[in-house]
């Protein structure tokens, strides 16, 4: 069984109104939004089998409507809606969704992330003045090795998803990105460093390492533009934007999941957490 890792962040829709209302920033609102989404009647369907509010675990199935052609007794063709179930788990401590990798339903991790974003941004979050941002966790290549491979660096560009605001990742990632988000209410942050002469000089520091680490944890990407000789053309190398995929032995069907207890879900998530955690 393969699982995509999706990162969840919550941001105010309007920072001024949010601050004025004294609303509570709590990731559990995202959980309530997922639970509320089971009432949808559109192209998406989600079912929550486990919702442990105390420990912060959830599990269920999700799908997108497809159309299948069937034959009746008289061999006449008719169309039926089909919702193939895709298993998912929620880890509150890491603010991560683990969703079964089934490309026949969700063609990529990005499509799965967009689906969870669509269904969770409902009345529950809207009434609290919040919006959920869901992104696949990515695997990237080594930043400093790439930077040092060039003799002349002209540009370094970062594209960063907003950090999880309400989870335990704040201490691990650092204060810098959170200050940017708190002050701007941005869902994405894209700093660019340039030196037209190719003499860009970046060295490891707290704020720069925070950005590199954030990309390393799968919440963004970077690109470096440089060359090794003055007569060469500039070459751009980017971080690898490959979705993080967890491979586990065996499989879990929706029938099995329906009979699981909260302790079973906790055991599964805790067994996998070391493979995607921010807490190094």
Token pair recorded at residue 33: 């939004």
What's the rounded Cα separation, in Å, for the pair 88 and 101? 10
- 3 state SS of 204: coil
Question: 69: buried, middle or exposed (CB in 10 Å: 19+, 13-18, 0-12)?
Answer: exposed
What's the rounded Cα separation, in Å, for the pair 107 and 203? 39
What's the rounded Cα separation, in Å, for the pair 88 and 5? 10
Q: What count of other Cβ atoms lies within 10 Å of the Cβ of residue 139?
A: 14
Cβ neighbours for 232, distance < 8 A, ≥ 6 positions apart: none
What's the rounded Cα separation, in Å, for the pair 62 and 276? 22
Bridge partners, residue 8, by sequence:
134
What's the rounded Cα separation, in Å, for the pair 133 and 33? 13
Q: What is the pTM of this model?
A: 0.72
Question: 250: buried, middle or exposed (CB in 10 Å: 19+, 13-18, 0-12)?
Answer: exposed
What's the rounded Cα separation, in Å, for the pair 214 and 278? 9
SS3 helix, strand, coil % of the chain, rounded to 5?
30, 35, 35
> How far are the Cα atoms of 43, 45, 60, 71, 230 from residue 81, in angstroms, in the given order?
10, 12, 20, 14, 61
- Contact (CB, 8 A) for 48 and 35: yes
Bridge partners, residue 57, by sequence:
52, 91
What's the rounded Cα separation, in Å, for the pair 117 and 30? 10
What pLDDT tens digit does each residue of the chain (280 aa) get? 899 999 998 888 776 555 545 556 688 999 999 999 988 878 889 999 999 999 899 999 999 888 777 877 777 888 888 888 999 999 999 999 999 998 889 989 999 999 999 999 999 999 988 999 998 887 766 888 889 889 999 999 998 877 654 444 445 555 666 677 777 777 778 889 999 999 999 988 877 888 888 787 767 889 999 998 888 889 898 886 567 888 888 888 877 888 899 999 999 999 999 888 866 5
- 3 state SS of 52: strand
Q: What count of other Cβ atoms lies within 10 Å of the Cβ of residue 226?
A: 22
Q: What integer pLDDT is reported at residue 174 of this predicted model?
A: 56
- Contact (CB, 8 A) for 67 and 90: no
- Contact (CB, 8 A) for 59 and 257: yes
């Amino acid at each position: 069984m393969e699982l995509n890792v999706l990162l969840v962040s919550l941001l105010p829709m309007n920072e001024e109104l949010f601050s004025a209302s004294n609303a509570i920033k709590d990731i559990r609102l995202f959980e309530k939004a997922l639970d509320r989404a089971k009432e949808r009647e559109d192209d998406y369907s989600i079912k929550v089998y486990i919702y442990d509010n105390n420990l912060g675990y959830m599990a269920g199935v999700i799908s997108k409507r497809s159309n299948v052609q069937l034959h009746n007794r008289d061999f006449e063709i008719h169309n039926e809606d089909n919702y193939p179930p895709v298993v998912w788990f929620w880890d509150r401590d890491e603010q991560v969704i683990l969703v079964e990798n089934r490309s026949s339903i969700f063609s990529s991790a990005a499509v799965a992330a967009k689906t969870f974003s669509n269904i969770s941004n409902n009345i529950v979050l809207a009434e609290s003045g919040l919006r959920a941002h869901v992104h696949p966790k990515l695997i990237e290549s080594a930043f400093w090795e790439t930077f040092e491979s060039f003799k002349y660096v002209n540009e370094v560009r970062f594209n960063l998803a907003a950090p999880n605001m309400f989870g335990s990742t704040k201490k691990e990632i650092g204060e810098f990105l959170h200050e940017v988000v708190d002050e701007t209410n941005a869902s994405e942050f894209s700093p660019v460093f340039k030196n037209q002469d190719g003499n860009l000089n970046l060295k490891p520091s707290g704020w720069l390492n925070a950005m590199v680490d954030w990309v390393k944890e799968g919440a963004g990407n970077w690109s470096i533009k440089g060359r090794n000789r003055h007569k060469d053309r500039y070459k751009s190398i980017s971080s690898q934007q490959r979705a993080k995929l967890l491979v586990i032995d065996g499989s879990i069907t929706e029938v099995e999941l329906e009979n699981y207890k909260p302790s079973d879900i906790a055991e599964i998530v805790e067994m996998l957490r070391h493979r995607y955690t921010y807490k190094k």
